[in-house]
Amino acid sequence: MAGISAAARLFFLDEGRWPRDLAELTLKDRFSIPDTDPWGHGYQLRSSTTRVTVLCLGADGSEGGDGINADIISDK
**pLDDT tier for residue 31 given thresholds of 50, 70 and 90:** low
Stated pTM of the model: 0.77
Q: Over the stretch 42-63, which tens digit does the pLDDT of each residue have?
A: 898 888 888 888 999 999 999 9
Return the pLDDT at 61.
Answer: 93
Q: How far apart are CA 67 and CA 42, in angstroms?
A: 19
Sequence ranges of the domains in the chain = 2-75
How much is the mean pLDDT over the chain? Answer: 85
**pLDDT tier for residue 6 given thresholds of 50, 70 and 90:** confident
- Asked if CATH classification 3.30.700.10 holds for the domain at 2-75, the reply, yes or no, is yes
- Longest CA–CA span in the chain (Å) reads 37
Which of these, 30, 37, 29, 31, lies nearest to 54 by C-alpha position?
37
